Structure 1
Amino acid sequence: MTTRLYVRRRLHDQRRHDPLYLLALISTLVFALTASPADAVLFTFTIFVPLVCAFAAYNEVKLMLAWRVEYWNSPYRDYPAVLTFRVLLLVTIPNVAAPAFVIGAMSADFSTRALWTYAALALVTTLAYSAFATAVATFGRPAFIAFLVYVLGFENLLGHFFPWPRWFSIREWAIATTELLATGDLLPPSPIPGPIGLGLLIICGGFGLLWAGGGILYLRWQKNGGAGFPEGPS
C-alpha cells in the first residue's frame, strides 16, 4: 500500500526535488572519496543525514497539509503523521540511509564489524531525524529553518565544544543505541548509555509523530471549515 500511496500522489511538484536529492548524494560521495575516512563519516552523519531528512520531511508534510495525499479507508487515515512518515521513508531510505551506510562501511574497509555497526547507525539516524523533522515541519518554513539551526548550531557547534548538549542531540541518541550491538565499539563512545539513548528515541520520536498527526488533522479540519474529512477509495 505504501508504494501505491506514493505513486498516486500528485507528484508533478514533488518530483522536481529529486535532482536535489541526487545532487546531495553525489556531492557527499565525492567528498567521501577525496577526504579522510574520519572526515567522511563525520560529514555524512552530522550534515548529510539530518539535512536531507529535514528537507524531505518538509516537502512531504507540505503535501499532507495541502490534502494532496490520497487517504484510504485504513487506520493510517486517522494517523496522518504515521502515513507521512511511512511515505517519507521511501525517499530517505534509498537517498539517505543507504549511502550513509556505504560511506561508513567504506571508511572501515567494509569489515564485518563495520557493516553491522554502520547499517544500524544509518538506519537509526535516518528514522530518528525523519520522525523529528516530520513533527517539526507541521509548523511550516520557520520551524524547518529552526531545525536546520538546531542541527548545524546546537548539535554540531555546541556539541563539539561542550559535553552537555550531547544529551539533547538526536545524533548522540542514535550513536548510543549502537553500543547495544556487539560491534558498537567501532564508533566513538557516547556519554549517553545505550538503553537511555534508545528509550529517548522511541519516546520522543513516537510522541512527536502523535503530536504531528493531531496537528495535521486539526489543520485539515480548519481548512474544511469544520466539516468531516473526505473519504478515500475503498
Structure 2
Amino acid sequence: DLICLCIDLSRNFDRQIDLLTTELGRADIKLNENPPPIEIEKTGSNNIQVFFLTKDSKEQLELTEHIKRIVKNTGIQNCVVKVKGSITLNQVLEALNPSNVYKKAIIICTKGDLPDTEERFEQLEEKYSDKFPIIIGSSVKKKVFPEDFGIKILRFLDKIRIYTMNAGEVSKKPLIIGKKATVEDVAIKIHRSFVERFDFATVIREGARQKRKRVGLDYKIKDGDIIELHTI
C-alpha cells in the first residue's frame, strides 16, 4: 500500500533520495503520481475505438488518430479506449506499459537527535514537500515519533478503520478498508459466504442521530463504525 523512504539526516539527503527514486523509477514504480486517466480494454473485433468521456477529454478530440496509432504500434488491433480526463500522448504510452506501478510514498527521517539535523530536516521538508506530502522526523535515541502516525497514514491512503461485532463482543483489532467502502465490501473482506448468506447488518456509529441502525449491503460505512453481520 505504501512506500517509505528512510533518510539518514546525518548524511546528504539529496543523494539518498535521488538514489532511491532512481532505482524505483528503473523498476517502473512511480511515487505519488496518479495513473493516466485512460482505460484500454481489448475486444475481439471492431478495430480501435476511442471515446472521450469527460468535458476535459472532449477538448482533445484531435488526439483520436494519434491515440489509435500509438495503440496499434503496440500490437493491439481491436480495443476500446476510454479517455476520462485531459491526457498527453506520453500518458497513453504509460497506460500501455503493464509494468508501471503507482504507489503512494512518504519520507521518514532518522537520527534527528544528532547535531545540525533539525536544520537539515527543515531544508529537506522545504525542498521535497510538493513531491512527498508526508515527511516525518524521528529519533530513536530521544524517542521522537508522531503519536498520530497511524491516523496520518490511513488518511493518506484513503483507508478507514471499522470494528466487527459478534454476539455483542466488539473486536479489539480494527479492520482496515477503503474510505468509500460499503457493508458489502466489509462482508467480502471477512469471507464471501457472508455476502451469499447475508440477511442484514447492524451498524453502531458514535455521534450519529440514530446510533444503532439496521442496514443493507449498499450502506456506506465510516471510520470507527462497529458492524455486526447477520446471515440467513
Which TM-score bucket, shorter chain as reference?
under 0.3
Higher helix share: 1
What TM-score do you get using the length of structure 1 for normalisation?
0.26
Q: Higher relative CO (CA 8 A, sep ≥ 6), structure 1 or 2?
A: 1
Quick check: which has more Rg, 1 or 2?
Answer: 2
Higher strand share: 2
